Amino acid sequence: MVLLMGIGGSAEAKTLVVRPQGPLASVREAIRQADAGDTIRIEAGVYGGNLRLEKPLTLEGVGKPLILGEGSGSVITVLADGCTIRGMVIERSGRVLVEEDSGILVKSSRNRIEENEIRDVLYGIYLYAAHDNLIRGNRIRGLAELEFGERGNGIHIWNSSGNRIIANTISHMRDGLYLQNASRSVIRENHAFHLRYGLHYMFSDDNVIEENRFFDNMVGAAIMYSRRIRLRRNIFFRNRGFSSYGLLFQDCDDCVIEGNLIADNAVGIFMEALRRSVFRRNLITTNDVAVYLFSSASENVFTENSFVRNVSLLRVIGRGTTTRWSWQGVGNYWDAYEGFDADGDGIGDVPFRLQDLFERLEGNHPRLRVYLSSAAAEALAFAEKAFPIIPGPQEWDPAPLRKPRALWPSDALEIERIPFSRWAFLAPMAMVGLSVGLFLWVGRR
């Protein structure tokens, strides 16, 4: 019995303490001494050198110790399954993109990467053929002095499945979260800003994207070549620049987009070759163009969404689409709708046309956009109502709602404080229009 107790005691996991004043002052030496399952507690201080975890260990920081990399390769490389890295500051990776130089490079499964601050790195956290990991509560900031194309991504996931990416904050990388061949992932409560793409997504199916904030990027989220994606209660806000979008879909099938706030973007929703997807109870507001729709997007449904204070509602590229703007007798709320509801059921009795003639022409001739909201555009829309003789694709909501039904995020009231700088480009047009009108009036006098 004594012998068995001795064997059992020797098998228990132990804790090694690393502190600058010793006696154990090197994290690398502590890793060498530790057995599988041990915890290495690292106290506040600066510890140099790249680290490799080739056995299951827990690295736990106390007082945010700094792990300072060598300036080449990855600062921490995780090769064993079942490791934990928590509570540390990680800096100074290499800068070679093709070598995946990262703050933390993970090539194993069932690890936990939590509550770390990762900065001055090429890639933040890189999952390489790594499955069922938890990445939670990390703050990742990239090399802002580099051009976007020279930076790595904040959290890069390649050929991995079943990962959970929860409550991370990412800025100044190339893309915030990049997923390729990464199915069955959960992406929840992350903040991604000052990036090229907040979320960049390719060939990754059956993923859930919930309660994230993608703002102040060139593109909020780009979902490409993927199937059965669920996007719920996210915020896509103030994503602006050249070819900028709040939410972009390219060649995707069977997605559900529900309860999101899509606000103050150059284009709210971009849809090319998106098929059999449902947009339900989203608030789409204060965008330059609410929906940019290619004719290759087919069999999609918009129902119970609210379209409020957008400069232009819809731009259609091509000869029309099979998109339906209502489902089972329930359409969407349009703030420009002027119809009536005689029976009081909350649904307008007159269908709502999403585009006038000028907006249809603009879809295939983008240079016309400079005349948006001009007197000429207004005159063309008025003339079409009186003489509807020019054929073209027309999109109708047959059952427009009289009141919005969007499920707003808890802080959606902030929409009332959105700056209106996006209207600035209309001011010169307004001044020109007033000047011309005044000139003609004076001439008649």
- pLDDT tens for 94-109 read 999 999 999 999 999 9
Buried residues in 407-424 as b, exposed as e (16+ CB within 10 A): bbbeeeeebeeeeeebee
- Cα–Cα distance measured from residue 170 to residue 150, given in angstroms and rounded to the nearest whole number: 17
Inter-axis angle of helices 357-364 and 375-386, to 10 degrees? 120
- Tell me what pLDDT residue 375 has: 56
Tell me: the pLDDT tens digits for 170-229?
A: 999 999 999 999 999 999 999 999 999 999 999 999 999 999 999 999 999 999 999 999
Burial class for 390, CB neighbours closer than 10 Å (0-12, 13-18, 19+): exposed
- The CA-based angle 139-140-146, given to 5 degrees, is 155
Question: Model-level pTM?
Answer: 0.83
- Residues composing the chain: 445
Which uninterrupted H or E stretch holds 382? helix 375-386
Give alpha helix (H) positions in 162-269. none
- Tell me what pLDDT residue 67 has: 98
- Cα–Cα distance measured from residue 382 to residue 108, given in angstroms and rounded to the nearest whole number: 64
**Tokens (6 digits) for 396:** 């109708």
How far, CA to CA in Å, does 413 sit from each of 2, 190, 297, 409? 68, 20, 32, 9
DSSP state of 3: H
Domains and CATH numbers, the chain: 62-433 (2.160.20)
Residue 130 has pLDDT above 60, yes or no: yes
What residues form DSSP beta bridges with 397?
352
Q: Computed from CA positions of residues 340, 341, 343, 347, in that sequence, does the dihedral angle turn out positive or negative?
A: positive
Share of residues in the chain with pLDDT > 90 (%): 74
Confidence band for 393, pLDDT divided at 50, 70 and 90: low
- Tell me what pLDDT residue 8 has: 43
Residue 390 has pLDDT above 70, yes or no: no
Confidence band for 406, pLDDT divided at 50, 70 and 90: low
- Tell me what pLDDT residue 413 has: 38
Residue 357 has pLDDT above 50, yes or no: no
3-state SS track over 115-149: CCEEECCCEEEEEECCCCCEEECCEEECCCCCCHH
- Tell me what pLDDT residue 318 has: 85
**Arithmetic mean of pLDDT, 419-426:** 38
Nearest partner of 11 among 33, 40, 37, judged by Cα: 37
Torsion, CA 167, CA 170, CA 175, CA 179, rounded to 10: -30
- Tell me what pLDDT residue 320 has: 79
Nearest partner of 13 among 33, 39, 40, 32, judged by Cα: 39
- Tell me what pLDDT residue 247 has: 98
Q: How many CA atoms lie within 13 A of 310 on its CB side?
A: 30
- Cα–Cα distance measured from residue 131 to residue 171, given in angstroms and rounded to the nearest whole number: 25
- Cα–Cα distance measured from residue 378 to residue 371, given in angstroms and rounded to the nearest whole number: 10
- The CA-based angle 352-353-355, given to 5 degrees, is 145
Nearest partner of 174 among 199, 141, 196, 145, judged by Cα: 196
**Arithmetic mean of pLDDT, 417-428:** 38
Torsion, CA 195, CA 198, CA 201, CA 205, rounded to 10: 160
**Arithmetic mean of pLDDT, 20-32:** 95
Which uninterrupted H or E stretch holds 291? strand 289-294
- Tell me what pLDDT residue 11 has: 63
- The strand pair at 396-397 and 352-353 is best described as antiparallel
Torsion, CA 250, CA 356, CA 303, CA 310, rounded to 10: 80
In 318-363, at which residue ranges do the beta strands (DSSP E only) sit? 333-334, 352-353
Residue 354 has pLDDT above 60, yes or no: yes
